[in-house]
C-alpha cells in the first residue's frame, strides 16, 4: 500500500464517479490502494481529469512513480536475473560490472556496444566478450549488451530502441541508476550504433562516445542537449572512417558556433593509430562522466531518422503523424514557446511541467510570428499517467499536454 502525504491533493474537491464524497486525493489514493488487476481504467475516473495545483501535481508524480516501481519492478527482476530482455522476436543479452561507490543520486550507467557485424555468430560473440572487459569507469554500471542479430547494422535497426529503453528502465528500477546519468558508447560497428542512436535517443542520455565507427546516413542535429565525443584512428581509412570523422568535427563545430548553448563536443583523431586505438579512446569515459542530462532543456532540435519516434524531450507526435525526415526546432523563453522551424509536420503535442513554464500563468505558442495558442494549460493526473506510460522515466514525467495545429 502506497502512502505519501496527500494533504495538498485534499484541497481539490472535484468528485469521483463511483465515490461522490471523496476528494481527488482520496479517490486517487483509493485507486492506488486497489490491487493492480482490480483497478478501473484510470483515464475514465473523474479524479484523473481534475485540475491540480503545482504541489498536488508533485505529489501525484511521486505517487505514480512509486506505484510503478512497486508494480513493475518485481516483474522485471526475472529479466535482470537472466541478463536477457525479449521484445517480440528479438532478445538482448547483456553482462555488466559495477564500479566505485554509489553517489547519493544513484549510479551512472554506461551502455557499451561491441563491434563485428555481418559475420558468424561466434565472431560477434567474441567481439561481445572483448567489449565486456574493454573499459572501466571510475564509478557506475558498465554494461555490454550482445546485439540481437548478426547483420551489418547490429546496433541501429528499429528493434534496438525499445530494447534499450527497457534496459535503461530496468536498471533505474532495480539497480538504482540515476536516469540523468546514462551514457552510450561503442567501438567499430558499436560506434556505428552510437552515431545512429545518440541523435535519435538523445533525450535519454547525458552524453555519448563514438569510437572507430561510421555514421552511414545519420546526421548530428539531435545531439544539441548532450555531450558528444568522437574518437578515431588517423590511419583508419576503411570506409573513409577517418575522413568522415573529420567532417563530423567540422559539422559539430559549425552547429556549436550557430547555437552556443548546445552541441558540446570533443573530437580526437589519434595520430598513428588505425582501427584499433590501443585504448587511447578510454579517455572518453571521464569526459562523459562530467555531463548530467537536462531532462527539460529550453531548446529542442528533433530530426527524425529512418527509425522514427513519437516523442523527443517535451515534443510528442501521434503515431500516425510520424515520418522519417521530419524536423522540428522549438524553444521556450519565459511563458512563450516558439516553434522556430517545422518540416513535414502539421500537428504536435507539447508536454509541459512547471520545470518548463509556470502552468499557473498563461502560455503562448508562436510560429512564424503568429500566435497559435494563448491561455492556461491544466495539470492533470490523466496527463501524468499518459506520460508515464509513454516513457517510464521519473525525471521526464509531464503534468500537462497541449495539442497544437501547425497548419499546412
* Strand, helix or coil for residue 343: strand
pLDDT for position 341: 97
Cβ burial, residue 167 (10 Å; 0-12/13-18/19+): buried
Q: Closest Cα partner for 335 from 300, 366, 297, 379?
A: 366
Residue 261 corresponds to which cell in the numbers above? Answer: 548553448
Inter-residue contact 73 to 42 (CB < 8 Å) = no
- β-bridge mates for residue 187, sequence order: 211
Inter-residue contact 345 to 406 (CB < 8 Å) = yes
DSSP string, 120-170: -HHHHHHHHHHHHTT---SSEEEEEEEPS--STTTT-STTHHHHHHHHHHH
The pLDDT tens digits for 321-359 are 999 999 999 999 999 999 999 999 999 999 999 999 999
Q: How far is CA 241 from each of CA 167, 193, 246, 404, rounded to the nearest angstrom?
A: 29, 14, 9, 42
DSSP string, 196-244: HHHHHSGGG-SEEEEES---TT--SGGGGGSEEEEEEETT--GGGHHHH
Could you give phi then psi for residue 19, rounded to 5 degrees? -130, 80
Inter-residue contact 144 to 125 (CB < 8 Å) = no
Q: For the chain, list residues with pLDDT below 70.
A: 1-21, 408
Rounded distance between C-alpha atoms, residue 385 and residue 40, angstroms: 14
Inter-residue contact 242 to 223 (CB < 8 Å) = no
Inter-residue contact 320 to 335 (CB < 8 Å) = no
pLDDT for position 408: 56
Rounded distance between C-alpha atoms, residue 129 and residue 121, angstroms: 12
Which helix (H) or strand (E) segment holds residue 94: the answer is strand 90-99
**C-alpha Rg value of the chain to the nearest Å:** 22
Q: Which CATH architecture does the domain made up of 87-289 adopt?
A: 3-Layer(aba) Sandwich (3.40)
104 contact partners, CB below 8 Å, separation of at least 6? none
DSSP string, 242-301: HHHHHHHHHHHHHHHHH-TTS--EEEEEETT--S--TTGGGGHHHHHHT----SS-SEEE
Looking at residue 44, the DSSP 8-state letter turns out to be G
Cβ burial, residue 216 (10 Å; 0-12/13-18/19+): middle
Residue 335 corresponds to which cell in the numbers above? Answer: 511563458
Rounded distance between C-alpha atoms, residue 145 and residue 83, angstroms: 9
pLDDT for position 257: 98
- Cell 558556433 belongs to residue: 257
Rounded distance between C-alpha atoms, residue 383 and residue 48, angstroms: 8
Domain residues of the chain, as ranges?
Answer: 9-80, 87-289, 299-405
Beta carbons within 10 angstroms of residue 123's beta carbon: 14
348 contact partners, CB below 8 Å, separation of at least 6? 315, 316, 317, 321, 328, 403, 404, 406
Looking at residue 14, the DSSP 8-state letter turns out to be P
Rounded distance between C-alpha atoms, residue 25 and residue 8, angstroms: 8
Rounded distance between C-alpha atoms, residue 49 and residue 196, angstroms: 39
Residue 199 corresponds to which cell in the numbers above? Answer: 541523435
Could you give phi then psi for residue 303, rounded to 5 degrees? -115, 115
Amino acid at each position: 500500500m502506497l502512502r505519501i502525504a496527500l494533504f495538498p491533493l485534499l484541497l481539490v474537491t472535484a468528485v469521483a464517479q463511483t465515490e461522490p464524497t471523496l476528494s481527488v486525493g482520496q479517490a486517487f489514493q483509493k485507486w492506488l490502494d486497489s490491487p493492480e488487476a482490480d483497478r478501473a481504467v484510470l483515464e475514465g475516473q473523474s479524479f484523473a481529469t481534475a485540475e491540480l495545483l503545482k504541489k498536488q501535481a508533485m505529489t501525484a508524480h511521486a505517487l505514480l512513480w512509486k506505484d510503478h516501481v512497486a508494480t513493475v519492478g518485481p516483474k522485471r527482476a526475472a529479466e535482470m536475473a537472466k541478463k536477457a530482455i525479449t521484445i517480440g522476436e528479438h532478445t538482448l543479452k547483456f553482462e555488466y560490472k559495477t564500479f566505485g561507490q554509489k553517489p547519493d543520486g544513484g549510479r551512472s550507467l554506461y551502455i557499451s556496444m561491441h563491434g563485428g557485424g555481418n559475420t558468424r555468430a561466434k565472431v560477434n560473440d567474441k567481439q561481445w566478450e572483448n567489449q565486456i572487459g574493454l573499459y572501466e569507469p571510475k564509478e557506475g554500471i558498465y554494461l555490454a549488451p550482445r546485439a540481437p542479430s548478426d547483420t551489418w547494422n547490429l546496433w541501429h535497426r528499429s528493434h534496438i530502441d525499445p530494447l534499450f529503453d527497457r534496459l535503461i528502465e530496468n536498471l533505474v528500477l532495480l539497480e538504482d541508476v540515476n536516469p540523468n546519468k546514462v551514457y552510450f558508447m561503442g567501438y567499430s560497428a558499436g560506434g556505428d550504433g552510437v552515431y545512429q542512436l545518440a541523435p535519435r535517443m538523445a533525450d535519454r542520455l547525458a552524453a555519448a562516445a563514438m569510437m572507430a565507427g561510421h555514421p552511414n546516413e545519420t546526421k548530428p542535429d539531435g545531439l544539441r542537449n548532450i555531450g558528444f565525443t568522437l574518437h578515431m584512428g588517423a590511419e583508419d581509412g576503411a570506409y573513409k572512417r577517418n575522413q568522415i570523422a573529420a567532417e563530423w568535427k567540422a559539422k559539430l563545430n559549425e552547429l556549436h558556433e550557430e547555437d552556443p548553448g548546445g552541441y558540446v563536443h570533443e573530437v580526437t583523431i589519434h595520430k598513428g593509430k588505425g582501427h584499433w586505438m590501443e585504448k587511447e579512446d578510454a579517455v572518453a569515459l571521464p569526459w562523459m562522466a562530467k555531463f548530467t542530462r537536462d531532462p527539460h532543456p529550453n531548446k529542442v532540435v528533433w530530426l527524425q531518422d529512418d527509425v522514427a519516434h513519437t516523442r523527443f524531450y517535451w515534443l510528442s507526435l501521434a503515431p500516425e503523424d510520424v515520418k522519417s525526415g521530419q524536423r522540428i526546432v522549438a524553444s521556450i523563453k519565459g511563458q512563450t514557446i516558439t516553434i522556430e522551424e517545422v518540416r513535414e509536420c502539421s500537428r504536435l503535442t507539447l508536454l509541459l511541467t512547471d520545470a518548463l513554464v509556470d502552468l499557473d500563468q498563461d502560455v503562448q505558442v508562436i510560429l512564424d510570428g503568429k500566435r497559435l495558442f494563448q491561455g492556461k494549460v491544466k495539470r492533470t493526473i490523466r496527463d501524468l499517467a499518459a506520460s508515464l506510460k509513454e516513457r517510464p522515466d521519473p525525471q521526464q514525467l509531464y503534468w500537462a499536454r497541449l495539442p497544437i495545429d501547425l497548419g499546412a
